[in-house]
Structure 1
């Protein structure tokens, strides 16, 4: 019986650099706060060109595990960091825009995440976190507040309680999922016929959420945040991204 041989995949040089750095992170040789050697030293040690090294470092910077400092001195060079929130949000927003996920998928993910985070926050939120939420709420009540500022505060309010749940991954995922639909939410807010009335109604729901968390009623807070998400934000389903190119136009199947 003959054996069918398959071509061996040839990795590009920057992928090998990424693999080497990842292995050092997994083994604990590289930790958050550690600095990588300068490019002129690291490239020859790894046996790669500086352009291949730079490409690998740019990938790591994009996914939020590396920050590059320009210049000379002790603060120059690339440093390992833990900053997944912004990176994951950008990635998810692009995939949503490309049609990798439907708006219904995103909204259901928000409901699942935020029900959990608000329920947990009722028992875990610290006095400092509750005070911060109160401050955000007072800024949302400011007369004449614009749509952009309100949306930023709205996002901060929800992410704050995700963080207060005590689960950092829930906080990161909540921030990323909310970020993925930020352009749609902004357009929906801007298109409301009576923005001041809409802002008042949304702010009242946020105030009720804070009250329920402060009183320790996690179940009621979970139910309210689901109604909140399925209410105004649920109207976004009318603005679906275009169908994926690899889907059948009749069935939607890939």
Structure 2
């Protein structure tokens, strides 16, 4: 069924455009993969200016539910998508930087999410999930790996195991929470007195975590991932507390 577009009120116009598009999605009239009408058609159908429409579409791009391609042809225009991972990570990182959440909040959220995801992965992960996690772990073990690349791969490893839990929302939230502290964790890794030893110790945990998931030992994997997170992440919390005390 084609979506039906109705004019919206003029106050806070772009927000009302957002509400109209959201209503179409919630009603099932717009689904992932559907294209919005061209701006020249959609703006008058909604009774708004094209600038207000563009503002609303930019918001939808930012939150990861729409992608827009300029130009002409089959790929041109705006299309509804499902890309929540990057969008949630970006928003959470900004809110963390603005002080909306403390390091302690983020630490406890990570612990809760990853205990759940590793325990579930031990029950539900497929051979493909495990093979992809092993591939990431192989790259993490490469000698001479710089802290920045290690940090990226470390994030991918944890998110990959979360995907193996079979819960898409858990993996998305795990990625967002881990992404929110990526710069801080990178600084902690770069400040390590003995980076090769630090990387080796972290990889010992990664190796054992993957073994436990493969063996179906979910409770043990959950306990180890909590210790693993509280190690590097807990250090950041301690440093922040020490900084507050010094101030």
TM-score (norm 2): 0.92
Partner of 1:5: none
Partner of 1:100: 100
2:113 counterpart of 1:113: yes
Deviating above 2 A after TM superposition, structure 1's stretches of 4 or more consecutive aligned residues are 238-241
Please list the CA deviations of residues 57-115 of structure 1 after superposition, one character each: whole Å capped at 9, or x if unmatched.
Answer: 00000000000011101210000000110000000000000100110000000000000
Find the counterpart in structure 2 of residue 180 from structure 1.
Answer: 180
Match of residue 35 from structure 2: 35
- Residue 44 of structure 1: aligned partner: 44
Structure 1 residue ranges without an equivalent (≥5): 1-9, 242-248, 250-254
Greater percentage in helix = 2
CA contact (8 A) 1:89 1:177 kept: yes
The 8 Å contact of residues 185 and 232 in structure 2, kept in 1 or not, is answered as no
Matches within 5 A, 1:184-195: 184-195=184-195
The secondary structure found in structure 2 opposite 1:99 is: coil
How many correspondences in the alignment? 233
Aligned equivalents of 1:43, 1:187: Cα separation in 2: 46
Q: How does 1:46-65 map to 2 (within 5 A)?
A: 46-65=46-65
TM-score (norm. length: structure 1): 0.90
CA distance, structure 2, for counterparts of residue 34 and residue 133 of structure 1: 33
CA contact (8 A) 1:184 1:239 kept: no
| Matched position secondary structure for 2:16 | helix
User: 2 CA distance for matches of 1:19 and 1:232?
Assistant: 42
Is the 8 Å Cα contact of residues 133 and 157 (structure 2) preserved in structure 1? yes
1:96-175 correspondence runs (5 A): 96-175=96-175
- The two structures, once aligned, show a CA RMSD in angstroms of 1.4
2:200 paired residue number: 200
Structure 2 unmatched runs, 5+: 1-9
Which deviates more from structure 2 when the two are superposed, residues 170-179 or residues 230-239? 230-239
Give 1:239 deviation, angstroms: 4.7
